Chains A and B, each alone.
Chain A
């Protein structure tokens, strides 16, 4: 923890995690209900942009440093530039050709091993879930592996000395919680609006340091705990029951809704 010259306000070192994912807008349905990925492009997972943005906002308010970390294949370098163009001062790139289609248990295990003993941090920020799988597991799993507290679905974060005051979403509304550092927080998309990198930020990104961490630098192995047995296009078709366009039809529709318990 960097002690501020001013005394009370601590300046945390923040590590934000991001995932380079298939942009689902480009996915099409192929023949035989399969998904057609032939024209897909990639992006930083949407909620991870909120995490990076929050890290930058916290740095603007409290000082300290921000680094980004990601896991991917060696050629996923565009994501690094994208992430760095959003503000972090450096990036950690944990990469290996086998790091493809990892499931959350693996991702969390790899991140934990990459961080422990190598990266100093006070606060780790993650998106609430990734836009491809949306399993919403990596953040909490990583916290457990690192032995630090975890707050999820945060909508506001404040640094108060050596603890954080966080507002997080619950089914009933909001909770304001206090948690000591170091800690891990997953952020909800409502927390902020990610900045659009300016041209200068994008151009400066290539000049920022990237530390690479390979599979041989890590203890391993990273076995999957779940297996994908199949993926198919989601089917949108439903019942399709039609009612006549008159009073009787509307009445029948409303009755059906009542029966379904939808009213």
Chain B
């Protein structure tokens, strides 16, 4: 009965976790189970590879996910899964840590990579530390072994209509001393570059402050925000301090980062290393940023930027 459990705040991440979950379950030799609170979601989990789904009762309007902690922990005590994977959204992280606290379990946070060590009988996780300067490999001891995984670390598991699986309904009612009084949606915050899916970063190589407008336009096209390197804010005062990206500024983890005239000093690159795709445009072919970029163009921003705007504008239509 013991197995690999997955838990996520959103269905998309459930599907991602089922992917790595299936791999781990195979290595450990156990079943894969998912937790959710919605019947349609439960069906999707089964279709994406879960052997079993635990279906929790729905929350009342003033309850949050924390109302499930006690229930999940109790079940974990009886079943003692090998591994519990939780998607590290804000609530997911809290939930996972509290579960770990209740179960006295070891937990690896924000793992970039997971694998099972058959010899040690433990989960090996890779994660960043020291503000991104280092990569730590941790091994979880005891049972269960808990790990949180950032959204989009894994691809969504493949879907198969034919897949069967068990649905286990949980009857205990969720409860929590915390009451949600109000929910507010995020307004589109300009300059909240830490949450942006895409970031255009402006560096010293941008000669004219007027070109900032083009950078903003580019950011708008890719659905992102504009950030900058420290000299742009601190020395040239073209942009506010809180848009600085780097060691002493913001650390960002966008899907796409485009550096315009950014040389790529280490203090800046540390802030961008987690970007999924890094693009750079710079006149200096020896600029360090190219070593840390997936795609680069050695060229003059005055020529390249308008071309970029045109091409991306075209595909976005």
Contacts and interface: CB of A to CB of B under 8 A. Distances in A.
- Chain A directly contacts chain B within the complex, with at least one CB pair under 8 Å: yes
Interface of A: 22, 24-25, 27, 29, 35, 103-105, 108, 131-145, 149-153, 165, 168-180, 186, 224-247, 249-251, 253-254, 256-258, 260-263
Highest count of chain A CB atoms <10 Å: which of B64, B66, B106: B106
A261 B223 CA distance: 13
30 contacts: A22-B130, A24-B133, A24-B247, A27-B134, A29-B133, A104-B97, A105-B106, A135-B110, A137-B97, A141-B97, A143-B98, A165-B181, A171-B9, A173-B183, A173-B184, A174-B184, A176-B182, A177-B178, A225-B105, A226-B138, A228-B138, A234-B273, A236-B266, A239-B293, A241-B296, A242-B290, A243-B297, A260-B276, A261-B255, A263-B316
Given A136-B97, A149-B178, A226-B140, 18 more contacts: A105-B105, A131-B131, A134-B131, A135-B107, A142-B101, A172-B186, A179-B178, A226-B106, A226-B107, A233-B135, A234-B133, A239-B295, A240-B294, A240-B296, A253-B297, A256-B295, A257-B256, A261-B255
Contact of A234 (B10, B102, B110, B134): B134
Contacts of A232: 134-135
A238 to B, nearest CB: 5
Contacts of A145: 101
A239 B294 contact: yes
B137 interface: yes
B292 A178 contact: no
A233 B109 contact: no
Interface string B90-122: 110110011011101111111000000000000
Nearest to B277: A262
Specify the main secondary structure of chain B where it touches its partner: mixed
B293 to A, nearest CB: 6
A108 B101 contact: yes
Contacts of A143: 98, 101
Interface residues of B, number: 81
B39 interface: no
B311 A254 contact: yes
Contacts of A173: 183-187
Contact of A260 (B90, B101, B277): B277
B223 to A, nearest CB: 9
Contacts of A238: 278, 291-294
Contacts of A175: 64, 180, 182-184
B315 A263 contact: yes
A252 B271 CA distance: 27
Contacts of B278: 238
Contacts of B94: 140, 150, 152-153, 186
Highest count of chain B CB atoms <10 Å: which of A145, A245, A250: A250
B269 interface: yes
A250 B101 contact: no
B68 to A, nearest CB: 14
Given A171-B9, A250-B307, A144 B106 contact: no
A229 B89 CA distance: 26
Nearest to A234: B135
A249 B297 contact: yes
A179 B180 CA distance: 9
Contacts of B178: 149, 151, 177-179
B284 to A, nearest CB: 12
B128 interface: yes
A260 B273 CA distance: 17
A188 B167 CA distance: 38
Interface in B268-305: 269, 273, 276-279, 290-300, 303-304
A156 B175 CA distance: 24
A226 B101 CA distance: 13
A165 B110 CA distance: 29
B79 interface: no
Contacts of A170: 90-91, 183
